[in-house]
Amino acid sequence: MSAPLGGDRLRIEATVQPGARLHITSAAATLALRGATAEHATYDIHLAVAEHAELRWAPKPLICAAGSNLRQTWTIDLAPTARLVLREEQLLGRTGEPSGQVTTRLTVRRGGRTLLDQEATYGPGAPGWDGPAVLAGYRATGQILTVDPAYEATPPGARLFDLTPDDGHALLAPLAGPATLVTAAAPDGHRLRRLLNTAQAVTRRPAATSSTHSEP
């Protein structure tokens, strides 16, 4: 979709009811563009997952075209027995063009208590965003947040993923709670996707390989 444009206000809400499973994706990438006004665009996502429910959020990448200015917020409320797999990919500029500016804030609460609260800003006007301490020249970044009560018993350990020296890097880190966060940076969207797919295979639900329960 060719939105949001500068000045747009977009909001998405989704609630997963008790015991339900919901998988949300998109048909195409989201393209943030310069609008007729210099005002930034706003993209707010509010998600709620009830007891024993599961949400998989995996849309196509967000592309921040040159001249765009986007502020994106995620607010996610999970019940203590809920499960979440949240995947996001950001491409900073289209091929051969500089990055637009994007600020993204992710706040996740589990049982009313904060599990993760992070903010990142990339693009013109963001100090050091392209330096060695942040993206080190890469133009694609993404993350996978997995929250699963099964991790209380068997949490994955920290792990670094490097396909080749030129393909970027990804880090899987356990959080202070039954959750893991994969953070990745790569030269382009294709290599970012490969990194995230490799890391996501490690974060699959522990019970999936040992349970004998079957469903009709």
Contacts of residue 2, Cβ cutoff 8 Å, sequence gap at least 6: 31, 33
What are 66-123's pLDDT values in tens digits? 999 999 999 999 999 999 999 999 999 998 899 999 999 999 999 999 999 999 999 9
- For the entire predicted model, the pTM comes to 0.89
Spatial distance between the Cα atoms of 208 and 146, rounded to a whole number of angstroms: 15
> pLDDT by residue (tens digit) across 140-164?
999 999 999 999 988 888 999 876 7
Residue with tokens 């790569």: 186
Contact 42, 75 (CB under 8 A): no
Query: Of 45, 106, 38, 93, which is closest to residue 69 (Cα–Cα)?
Result: 38
Q: How far is CA 34 from CA 42, 102, 120, 196, in A?
A: 13, 12, 20, 29
Q: For residues 2 and 34, what is the distance between their CA atoms, to the nearest angstrom?
A: 11
pLDDT of res. 42:
94
